[in-house]
Structure 1
Amino acid sequence: MKVLESLNSESARQYAYRVLRSNIMNLTLIPGQGISEPELAEELKISRTPVREALILLEQEALVVIQPKRKTIVSKIDMKKVQNAIFVRATLEQEILRMVVQTPNQQLVTEMSQLVELQKLVLNAGDNLSAFYALDNQFHLLIYEAVEKEAVWSMIEGLSTHYNRFRQLNAIENISLSDVFKQHRELIDLIQRQDASGIETFINGHIKDVSHHFNEVYQKHSDYFVAINE
């Protein structure tokens, strides 16, 4: 597990939550892996109580499964949750983008372009999925902020814990980050031209397409997933 430095502004519970969530989302802690409260507390140099509280928060996000009197495990990826998240995000983001292209917004275009340039730097430095997808989230958040729908993005993120882990795993196996980079450039062009006609094609390629690789990824990492018949 990668231990992050604690921030002066955060409590022990917040620190434990941030470290655990980061390691779960970037697959350092793999689906199905056991988590020991005493070992975590020792590794993070905090007491067991904030670790337990952090695990409860993560269970609410469906990222861990707490088994009383047994052990806590990282939740396996549930494709039903992945598909639900894809449906919600694709449906809402398509409408958000239709709102965005109605009004010229050069500041949005500039800020999105700056993030894409940062993604280019990440690509040139090597495939760093965590850094790339952090910038990806900032990129999409800008779109929601442009039409004052930040709360919608927060809701989507809350539903997307399994989707984002599958996307990370899928990227390792199938997707070149340069393709995602190219799609972002295409989206900026659509917004700059106020072209609503290309939005559905973008959504299909950028968000919905990720699920098309499920069978291939499942065959390689079936132990990471909730069994299909469950």
Structure 2
Amino acid sequence: MDDYIDDIIKQVDLSNPRSLNESVYQGFKKSIIDGIIPVGERLNEKELSRRLNISRTPVREATKHLIEDKLVEYIPKRGVIVKKISKDDVIEIYKLRKNLDSLAAIEAMKHMTASDYQEFYKILDDTEKLWLNDKIDETIQMFKVFNEKVYLKSEMPRLKAIISELREYLKRFRIISLQDPERCKRALFEHRKMIILMEKGQKENLVELIHKHLNFSEKHIIIALENQMKGLKQPHVKS
């Protein structure tokens, strides 16, 4: 743990006005999601509290919350260990995302104006230009802009917060490369089709497309996850 404990400490903002317990919990949680604490690593409460210069109580409370979040697990004779990502984790998160993303898009349709749709088409045109110029990182960033705008237009702040939380957990799937140009091309096509369906008010077709869009991503992640366990390279997933 000594190799990366300094990086963990950087994630714990003890100057934050929220409670010490919450600050430690959020810092540890971010460290796990961002991959700073490796899978299978034991959380040493004594060492963490010593290095943070705090009592073991907030560290113990943070650990308790992380167990509830299913990010860590207690193993007898080993202690609290960072959990591996399982196929069930992927399935659960995507099941939630399919339903929540569908709800966000349907609600957004109720509030969007012609000007909003033009803004979406502009985002998609800019994204396509980036993709055509092989700027994959920037293309992926524009996908995030697209999704955030849909959530915003749904005018459901609690829904947006829930989806944002799920998207944080998806960061744990760092084994999955998002750099595949063909995946970007497919996502761009489907995003454009989503906006067309929203503009036409075709709810059923929209929900079907969103589920298809996320099913592909889920399938890709599960296969890559299974191959990682076998020590294989990530395959190209066909639709």
Question: Structure 1-normalised TM-score?
Answer: 0.67
1:212 aligns with 2:216: no
In structure 2, C-alpha distance between the alignment counterparts of 1:216 and 1:179, rounded to whole Å = 19
Task: Give the fraction of aligned pairs with identical amino acids, expressed as a percent.
Answer: 19
In structure 1, C-alpha distance between the alignment counterparts of 2:156 and 2:49, rounded to whole Å = 38
In structure 2, C-alpha distance between the alignment counterparts of 1:39 and 1:127, rounded to whole Å = 37
In structure 2, C-alpha distance between the alignment counterparts of 1:55 and 1:111, rounded to whole Å = 42
User: Corresponding residue for 2:177?
Assistant: 171
Secondary structure of 1:169's counterpart equals coil
User: Corresponding residue for 2:105?
Assistant: 97
User: Corresponding residue for 1:30?
Assistant: 38
Larger radius of gyration: 2
User: Corresponding residue for 1:39?
Assistant: 47
Whether the 8 Å CA contact 1:109–1:192 is kept in 2: the answer is no
1:10 Cα offset (Å): 2.8
Which digits, 9 at most, give the CA deviation of each residue in 1:6-47, with x for residues without a partner?
243233222221221111112222222211112222333322
Higher relative contact order (CA 8 A, sep 6+): 1
Which digits, 9 at most, give the CA deviation of each residue in 1:115-156, with x for residues without a partner?
x98xx8xxx99959xx959x93x8645534433433344455
User: Corresponding residue for 1:147?
Assistant: 154
Which digits, 9 at most, give the CA deviation of each residue in 1:45-76, with x for residues without a partner?
32221111111111111111134664110112
In structure 1, C-alpha distance between the alignment counterparts of 2:88 and 2:63, rounded to whole Å = 23
Whether the 8 Å CA contact 1:31–1:75 is kept in 2: the answer is yes
In structure 2, C-alpha distance between the alignment counterparts of 1:53 and 1:33, rounded to whole Å = 18
Whether the 8 Å CA contact 2:73–2:80 is kept in 1: the answer is yes
Gaps of 5+ in 1: 224-230
In structure 1, C-alpha distance between the alignment counterparts of 2:24 and 2:69, rounded to whole Å = 15
1:14 aligns with 2:22: yes
Note the 1:71-110 alignment, pairs <5 A.
71-105=79-113, 106=115
Whether the 8 Å CA contact 1:102–1:194 is kept in 2: the answer is no
- Segment of structure 1 superposing worse, 150-159 or 40-49: 150-159
In structure 1, C-alpha distance between the alignment counterparts of 2:47 and 2:122, rounded to whole Å = 43
Whether the 8 Å CA contact 1:141–1:150 is kept in 2: the answer is no
In structure 2, C-alpha distance between the alignment counterparts of 1:175 and 1:46, rounded to whole Å = 47
Q: Partner amino acid for 2:34?
A: N
Secondary structure of 2:175's counterpart equals helix
In structure 2, C-alpha distance between the alignment counterparts of 1:20 and 1:109, rounded to whole Å = 41
In structure 1, C-alpha distance between the alignment counterparts of 2:147 and 2:153, rounded to whole Å = 10
1:172 Cα offset (Å): 6.3
In structure 1, C-alpha distance between the alignment counterparts of 2:76 and 2:121, rounded to whole Å = 46
1:171 Cα offset (Å): 2.9
Gaps of 5+ in 2: 232-239
CA separation of 1:212/1:146 partners in 2, compared to 1, >3 Å: closer, same or farther? same
User: What RMSD over aligned residues (CA atoms) do the two structures have, in Å?
Assistant: 4.3
Secondary structure of 1:77's counterpart equals coil
In structure 1, C-alpha distance between the alignment counterparts of 2:148 and 2:83, rounded to whole Å = 26
Query: How many positions carry a matched residue from both structures?
Result: 214
CA separation of 1:177/1:49 partners in 2, compared to 1, >3 Å: closer, same or farther? farther
In structure 1, C-alpha distance between the alignment counterparts of 2:146 and 2:210, rounded to whole Å = 15
